[in-house]
Amino acid sequence: MSLNSAYARFTRKPPSIIPIGQERDPLADKKFLRCLGQIIRDARKQRGMTQESLSEAAGVSAKHLSEVEQGRSNVTVLFLRRVSRALKLDLCALLYGCEDNSEERRLKREIADQLQKLGPQELRRAGRILRAMGDNEDRAIE
């Protein structure tokens, strides 16, 4: 491979990661940011924290936190990580809380969290139990 072709290979624009038909929707983005801000605000208030105390605990700007809670500012992953830790809240709860608040989704996340803690042998056993549960459900349907 020539130097020119190698350079061209690494300087090409990457393909779009947004599937066709799912282009960016500014209204959906605004709705998501408002929802995210509401989740952070609710969690903060449930813990009896002020914006100032949360911003200090998380190491983030109180002004930025206020803007995020109002859905007026975008966030970085690091901001979410710091805030979720200060709130002792699962990062996924912040990110996916706006997408689907269903009980089923919460239970699946809880089970996935438990599976992460298991070793190989325990995972195999859990897999057998889950498959058996699925087999029993299939028989009950028939």
Between 53 and 14, residue with greater pLDDT: 53
Asked whether residue 37 falls in the same domain as residue 86, the answer is yes
Exposure string over 37-64, b if 16+ CB within 10 A, otherwise e: bebbbebbeeeebebeebbebbebeeee
Tens digits of residue pLDDT in 73-120: 999 999 999 999 999 988 887 787 776 556 776 787 788 878 888 899
Domain membership of residue 28 as a residue range? 24-100
Residue 121 CA to residue 101 CA, distance in Å, equals 32
**pTM metric for this prediction:** 0.56
pLDDT at res. 64 = 98
Asked whether residue 94 falls in the same domain as residue 107, the answer is no
Asked whether residue 63 falls in the same domain as residue 115, the answer is no
Asked whether residue 121 falls in the same domain as residue 75, the answer is no
Confidence of residue 136 (pLDDT cuts 50, 70, 90): low
Domain count, the chain: 2
